Chains A and B, each alone.
Chain A
Amino acid sequence: MGSELVGTLNYWLAAVLLLIGLQGMLMRRNLVKKLMAMNVMQVAVIMFFISLAMKTSGTAPIELPGVTDVDAYINPLPHALMLTAIVVGVSTTGVALALLIRIYRYYGTLEEPELLERMQE
């Protein structure tokens, strides 16, 4: 059990980071803090995928002349998928920040309880 825990340590840490982000998104009352917690969750998922791509005998996925063994390079597929994930994260954060600026200009506050009160008036 102990050696199994050390062997999969990256996955446990990525799960803890995901839970920290989830807790921040549900518990905090300021909208900007919720947005930052969402970014933390995205980083946790990206870390999980990158540690799935690891091979202990491998090096960076750029072909060295003469070395053609499959086990000498790490898995390139999750890295390509996570480039897409990073760009999607940037897009989501940009649009969310634009929405927050509009909310602030119209209601004057970014705290959730006051926002709900002002919306009902």
Chain B
Amino acid sequence: MRSPFGSSILDAACRLPVPLVMLFAVYVIIHGHDSPGGGFQGGAILAATVMLIRMVRGEDDVWGLDRTRAALLACCGVGLYAGIGLLTILCNGNYLDYGVLPLPLKPEKVRFMGTLGIEIGVAMGVTGVLVLIFDALTEGETQEGDDGK
């Protein structure tokens, strides 16, 4: 995890599944209403692709999600969820009552859009937190290992 694996076979082999798995993760998040899935499952799959790249290519290839941005992604996910709740209070409803949002659709489609919004928030939060935990646990000492006390 600290240094790259050093094998060009792994490097070439992981280029094929990663875009397909990311697309599948976005599909699982957005189709949570019609098939099994939802925010937590899609967020975990998305975090798994980032971890695969991190394991094969070493710690320096952060792929756009270094520690600061992962923490920011997690905060934005939770903030989106709570923010939709506050938005429904501003529109004269209860907290997280999606029926009062001012969208020009049928009543149950308005609830559908509200649920989709919070599922995206949950997926962002779960991805950010899982990548952060993985980074924190594999930071560690130098490659020669600890001597203990």
Contacts and interface: CB of A to CB of B under 8 A. Distances in A.
Interface of A: 60, 62, 83, 86-87, 90, 94, 97-98, 101, 104-109, 118
A62 B32 CA distance: 11
Contacts of B141: 105
A115 to B, nearest CB: 12
Tell me the interface secondary structure of chain B in the complex. Answer: loop
Interface stretch (B2-10, B33-41, B48-56): B33-41
A106 B149 CA distance: 7
B133 A94 contact: yes
Given A87-B40, A108-B148, A98 B35 contact: no
A98 B148 contact: no
A86 B126 CA distance: 13
29 contacts: A60-B36, A62-B34, A62-B35, A62-B36, A83-B40, A87-B40, A87-B126, A90-B130, A94-B133, A94-B137, A97-B137, A98-B133, A98-B136, A98-B137, A101-B137, A101-B140, A104-B146, A104-B148, A105-B141, A105-B146, A106-B149, A107-B148, A107-B149, A108-B146, A108-B147, A108-B148, A108-B149, A109-B148, A118-B149
B17 to A, nearest CB: 23
Tell me the interface secondary structure of chain A in the complex. Answer: helix
Nearest to A93: B133
Kindly list the 9 A-B residue pairs having the minimum CB-CB distance in the complex, ordered from nearest.
A108-B148, A94-B133, A108-B149, A97-B137, A83-B40, A87-B40, A98-B137, A105-B146, A107-B149
Contacts of B36: 60, 62
A87 B133 CA distance: 14
Interface string B23-39: 00000000000111010
Interface string B116-149: 0000000000100010010011001100001111
A107 B147 CA distance: 10
Contacts of A87: 40, 126
A45 to B, nearest CB: 18
A106 B148 CA distance: 7
Contacts of B35: 62
A86 B136 CA distance: 21
A114 B58 CA distance: 34
Contacts of B130: 90
A83 B133 CA distance: 20
